Amino acid sequence: MTTDHDAVARNLEAFRLAQIAADPKVLGALCADDLSYSHSSGFLEDKAAFIANATDGKTEFQSITYKDPTIKIVGPAAIVRFHWLAEMTTGGQKVTNSLHILMNWLKQGDDWKLLSRSATKL
């Protein structure tokens, strides 16, 4: 039997891989329709805008690490935090960033979906 903790950990890893792959189908399947996603600039996206921007090819991730993740299940919610370290190419430039991330996942039926995400520059 899969525990909620295991299920969230699996979806979190699938989300990380889908961000690197810039895969709109997988990202879409992992997010609730009401997704609210914000970047370290405070820029805020709904689900359609997040997926469009994450897969438009303007930025290519060489690597994304979700370091020291913590997952806390509270009823139908999961509080997920980690230290984001990524290398990417954007506008022909190699860029790295280091962020603190808060994600809130919500259990909808049997599935855990990403409901909100916020990023803080470190």
Partner 1 sequence: MTINRRDLALSTLAISSLAVSALALTTPALAASADEEAVAKKVEAFRLAQIAADPKALGALCWDDLSYSHSSGKVEDKATFIANATDGKSKFLSIAYQDPTIKVVGPAAIVRFHWVAEQEMAADGKKVPTNLHILMNWQKQGDEWKLLSRAATKL
Residue numbers at the binding site for partner 1 (CB under 8 A) = 32, 34, 36, 38, 40-42, 44, 72, 74-77, 79, 81, 100, 102, 104, 106, 108, 115-122
* Residue among 29 and 106 whose Cβ is closer to partner 1: 106
DSSP string, 39-96: -TT--EEEHHHHHHHHTSSSEEEEEEEEEEEEEEEETTEEEEEEEEEEEEEETTEEEE
**What are the structure tokens assigned to 122, written together?**
């470190």
Q: From the CB of 7, what's the least distance to partner 1, in Å?
A: 17
Between 2 and 70, CB nearer to partner 1: 70
CB of 21 vs partner 1, minimal distance in Å: 26
* In the complex, least distance from residue 52 CB atom to partner 1, rounded to whole angstroms: 20
Residue type, 34: D
Q: How far apart are CA 86 and CA 101, in angstroms?
A: 12
Q: How far is the CB of 64 from partner 1 (least distance, A)?
A: 17
